[in-house]
Amino acid sequence: METAFHRTAGGALHSAKYLDQEPAPHSRADRTWPKGPQISPDEVLEERVIWRQRYQAQQFDFRGKIVFARFDGCEFVKCTLLVDRGTGQLAFTQCVFKDCNIDKLEADQERGLYTRDNFFDRPLAERRAEFEHRLAQFLAARLARANDRYGSRINS
């Protein structure tokens, strides 16, 4: 029985000679198939997954771009994110946004914008102002309680 491969005395496999021949003009190997759209080197078609990266004071300009990127568990500190109606194929999951120009991200499945489990921390100046306001209220309340308890002895 003749097969496409046969063993030599050393045990190595060698192909039968008919497999080593050039394809005939009528064979399927010679057929030209229609080609897909040509892609320039500047375009990225695969999705990039950025995982657990920290970005500080950077600007991300996604305006009018189809990005094909997913940010998982990343931290954005004092960053500027620019997103418009032309932005597509972008996802943020479990990211932390501290002191950034955005306070929420809205998902839009039609454009491929996905957001899930993100945390938006308020700007530092706003948090500091709120802390000072609460501290002033607490100290005023403490002083008022002390005045009620001890009367005029504290103010004199």
pLDDT digits (tens, 9 = 90+) for 26-39: 545 444 444 434 44
pLDDT in tens, 55-71: 999 999 999 998 899 99
Report if residue 24 sits inside a domain. Answer: no
Q: Is residue 34 part of a domain?
A: no
Looking at the domain assignment, is residue 112 inside a domain? Answer: yes
Domain contains 156: no
d(CA 135, CA 141): 10
Q: Is residue 80 part of a domain?
A: yes
Rounded distance, CA 94 to CA 103, Å? Answer: 15
**How many structural domains is the chain composed of?**
1
In a domain, 84, yes or no: yes
Indicate the pTM of the whole model.
Answer: 0.57
Query: For residue 114, what is the enclosing H or E element?
Result: strand 113-116
41-55, 61-75, 92-106 — which is least confidently predicted? 41-55
* pLDDT above 70 as % of the chain: 67
Q: The domain that contains 63 carries what CATH number?
A: 2.160.20
| pLDDT band, very low/low/confident/very high, at 126 (cuts 50, 70, 90) | confident
Range of the domain at 50: 44-122
- Report the pLDDT value the prediction gives residue 56, as an integer from 0 to 100: 94
